[in-house]
Amino acid sequence: MAEVILLGIDGSPNSERAADMAADHAKSTGRRLLVAHVIEWSPYTFNTPEENEVRHKRREEEIDRAEAHVVRPIVERLKKAGVEGEIVVRHGHAGEVLSQLAREHDVKQIYIGRIGQSRLRELLFGSVAGSLVQISPVPVTVVP
Amino acid sequence: MLLRLTALLSLLFMPALAHAQEAAAEADGIDAAINNAVAPISDAIAAVIFFTVPIFGVDVPLIVFWLIIAAIIFTFYFNFVNFRAFFHAIELIRGDYSNPKDAGEVTHFQALATALSGTVGLGNIAGVAIAVSLGGPGATFWMIVAGLFSMSSKFVECTLGVKYRNEYPDGTVSGGPMYYLSKGLAEKGMGGLGKFLAVFFAICCIGGAFGGGNMFQANQSFQQLVNVTGDEASWFADKGWLFGLALAILVGVVIIGGIKSIARVTEKVVPFMAVIYLGAGLVIILINITALPEAVMLIITGAFSAEGVAGGAVGAMIQGIRRAAFSNEAGLGSAAIAHSAVRTNEPITEGLVALHEPFIDTVVICTMTALVIVITGMHQTGGEIGGVELTSMAFGQSISWFPYVLALAVILFAFSTMISWSYYGSKSWTYLFGESRTMDLIFKFIFCVFVVLGATMDLSAVIGFSDSMIFAMALANIVGLYILAPVVKADLDSYWSRLQTGEIRKYA
């Protein structure tokens, strides 16, 4: 199986910088590039019955919207840099899903942008970068 | 958007508001008027549903037999699945058997939590108090027993709810007794009966949505509000209509206006309040730990005594079972509507998950309430103080400020139960009258009106109506469960054997 570089994006400007770095890495090593976007979702929430009724439909919509607005622009950017990116959109917690993907594919390195949330939010809820670095099975590059 | 909506709703309520304000100038005017108007109707309905048969000198409502016998039969028919699958169900709820590819869909946990939000309500707090004051401490024992057996009924109906749900092309799902009664029985060549039962169920469910899911909740939460603000001297004392109106507007904003944010807040806060409630209960039991053995003795002796309060053992049994049924809704079919939205390839798994609903609702939460009442000796106050007031006093005895927390908890529980039951009711309504937006809106508007009615009426009249409609649902539902039980058994046996052989495995 070809070696893979995993790029985690969230639509912020940091993602673009991370994408650029990941593209460079992919070009110089000849590794495949996997572009992943994680839609924050928890299996343990309390919903109203109406939310559950339409959840299946909503999920599809969320994935389509993410693919169109978050992932496609990055893939276009990568194409311009001469790199083909494979797309993955999943629900879950960003840190966990990226680690999971790293295990599923032969991922050698993960690139993510540092989200740069407010200090308070980071303190209270943790950051994706922070949690991923703790649990990732492979090296992680956090691009500011 | 919110502003425009509130304005619209206020406009609709304006005539009622104006009239009510005039009427309330005379003490208890509106409240008494509504009560007098509706009470005879509710009494009449109650007399039919709760047709009683004297046994050992105690009047036993047949409907209670109907429910508990079904629960017992199903427990045996499925070989005590409620115990066998108890831990496997926990694994299912945790997501151990959920395909990662299904991330983002409705999980077992979410379906269970949604259903629980609907069932955990005033029944757990006020209903238990009624049971214990009317039937004595022994009612607690029978309530737990009923709770354990009724897990099996819930198992059957929730499996069927998922199995026979409608999956629409746009991705939405609709499930519940209306569908498994009509579709399921049609498969068995009993289409006509199925359709009839489905319609009967839908009608009763609408009644139940207005009664137990609405009026009772509004009534008891208002009651608690009055309690903590000074009883008769409270500014709220005769303003049930005002409380009802405020609550109706809030409920209306969520269910009609689709203002998800309020519901989302409630849905987060309610589990939190449940934890606080249970925590407080535990604290009270610990404070009174020396009285615990005696309380347990009271419960056990009261459960089996020949004489005593309200017919001794039999009275305790009736009250215990009645409140358990009202609280955990097993056999009624309502939870099947909530559970049907889960994402799964095996409908039986949702049935197994649903086992925990009566367990959490009755064996854990209701028992907690009952223990607090018995351990503080509040059950001896007799039939004068009933409902939520009794529970409030019991908690207040050890934690003086808890009645305020309880008032907040009660209003939140009531609110989330109302949201859920408005969903069940509207599903039944649209099943009967067509899935159009207008029909949906009409139901929801009427639902809001009933919120006001519930807050203004007397407890006894409200209870009579609530119980009647709720239990009437079980008439149709359980017939369907009996007929379709073999289908569920086949599914269970197949699933269980595949689980044992390792064909069904956890996802690492």
Mean pLDDT, rounded, for B103-119? 92
CA distances from A72 to A5, A84, B124 (A): 18, 12, 51
Q: Compute the nearest-CA separation of B424 from chain A (Å).
A: 9
**Strands of the A107-113 sheet, one edge to the other:** A85-92, A32-40, A4-9, A107-113, A140-143
Inter-chain contact A49–B106, Cβ cutoff 8 Å?
Answer: no
- A51 and B260: CB-CB below 8 Å? yes
Q: Is residue B6 part of a domain?
A: yes
What is the C-alpha separation between B130 and B216, in angstroms, rounded? 13
Q: Which residues contact B265 (CB under 8 A, 6 or more apart)?
A: none
Phi, psi at A91, each rounded to 5°:
-95, 150
Segments forming the whole domain that contains residue B364: 2-501
Tokens of B14: 């304006």
B121 near B362, Cβ under 8 Å?
no
Show residues of chain A in contact with B114, CB under 8 Å: 46-49, 52
pLDDT digits (tens, 9 = 90+) for A36-51: 999 989 999 888 888 8
DSSP letters of B381-402? GTTSS-HHHHHHHHHHHHSTTH
Interface test with chain B among A39, A46, A60, A89, by most B beta carbons within 10 Å: A46
Q: Is the dihedral of CA B332, B334, B335, B341 positive or negative?
A: positive
Per DSSP, the three-state class of B334 is: helix
Q: How far is CA B322 from the centre of its chain?
A: 12
From A3-7, B295-299, B475-479, the region with the lowest mean pLDDT:
B295-299
Residue A101 CB neighbours (<10 A): 19
Count of CB atoms situated within 10 Å of the CB of A117: 16
Q: Is the dihedral of CA B261, B265, B266, B271 positive or negative?
A: positive
B3 burial level (CB within 10 Å; 0-12, 13-18, 19+):
exposed
Residue B81 is assigned to a structural domain of this protein: yes
Residue B353 and residue B112 in contact, taking contact as beta carbons nearer than 8 Å: yes
B-proximal residues of A, 49-78, CB under 8 Å: 49-57, 59-60, 62-63
pLDDT one-digit tens code per residue, B357-411: 999 999 999 999 999 988 888 777 655 666 788 888 888 888 888 888 888 888 8
Contact (CB<8Å) A60/B171: yes
To test the contact with chain A by mutation, choose from B173, B250, B443 the residue with the greatest count of A C-beta atoms within 10 A, namely B173
* Helix, strand or coil, per DSSP, at residue A109: strand
Q: CB of A126 within 8 Å of any CB in chain B?
A: no
DSSP summary character for residue B60: E
Q: Tens of pLDDT along B174-201?
A: 999 999 999 999 999 998 999 999 999 9
Tell me the residue type at B310.
A
Interacting residues of B446 by C-beta distance below 8 A, sequence separation 6+:
B210
- Rounded to 5°, the CA angle B279-B283-B288 comes to 150
A46 chain-B contacts, CB cut-off 8 A: 110, 113-114, 117, 267-268, 270-271
B405: in domain: yes
Name the β-bridge partners of B166: B174
Chain A contact set for B420 (CB, 8 A)? 48-49
Angstrom distance (rounded) from CA A104 to CA B280: 46
Under DSSP, is residue A137 helix (H, G, I), strand (E, B) or coil? coil
Phi, psi for residue B254 in degrees, rounded to 5:
-75, -50
B21 pLDDT above the threshold of 60: no
pLDDT at position B222: 85
Span A83-96, average pLDDT: 91
DSSP B54: E
Mind telling me how many Å the CA of B283 is from chain A's nearest CA? 26
ipTM of the complex: 0.88
Are the CB atoms for A23 and A83 separated by under 8 Å? yes
CA pair distance A118, A112, nearest whole angstrom: 18
- CA distance linking residue B182 with residue B168, whole number of Å: 17
Query: What integer best gives the mean pLDDT of chain A?
Result: 88
Residue A68: exposed, middle, or buried by beta-carbon count in 10 A (0-12, 13-18, 19+)? Answer: exposed
What's the whole-number mean pLDDT along residues B493-503? Answer: 94
What domains can you pick out in chain A, each with its CATH number?
A: 10-105+115-143 (3.40.50.620)
Distance CA B337, CA B325 (A): 17
Q: Which residues of B touch A (CB under 8 A)?
A: 95, 98, 100, 103-107, 109-111, 113-114, 117-118, 170-174, 260, 263-264, 267-268, 270-271, 337-338, 341-343, 419-420, 423-424
For residues A125-135, give the mean pLDDT.
80
| Inter-chain CB proximity A43 and B95 less than 8 Å | yes
Q: Among all residues of chain B, which has the CA nearest to that of A103?
A: B508
Percent of chain B at pLDDT > 90 equals: 38
- Looking at the structure of chain B, the number of domains it has is 1
DSSP B297-317: HHHHHHHH-SSSGGGHHHHHH
Residue of B428, B370, B374, B475 lying closest to B179 (CA atoms): B428
Q: Mean pLDDT throughout A82-87?
A: 90
Is B508 within a domain? Answer: no
The CATH number of residue B310's host domain is 1.20.1740.10
- Copy the structure tokens of residue B448: 């809001």
Instruction: Please state at what angle helix B240-255 crosses helix B260-287, rounded to 10 degrees.
Output: 120
Q: What is the pLDDT of residue B406?
A: 86
A44 φ, ψ (degrees, to nearest 5): -115, 45
Whether residue B465 is contained in a domain is answered as yes
A71: nearest Cα among A7, A143, A140, A125: A7
Quick count: other Cβ atoms within 10 Å of Cβ B133? 24
Among candidate residues B418, B423, B426, the one with its CA nearest the CA of residue B454: B418
Lowest-pLDDT choice from B26-30, B90-94, B140-144, B169-173? B26-30
In a domain, B121, yes or no: yes
Q: Give contacts of B170 with chain A, Cβ < 8 Å.
A: 57
What distance lies between CA A2 and its chain's CA centroid? 20
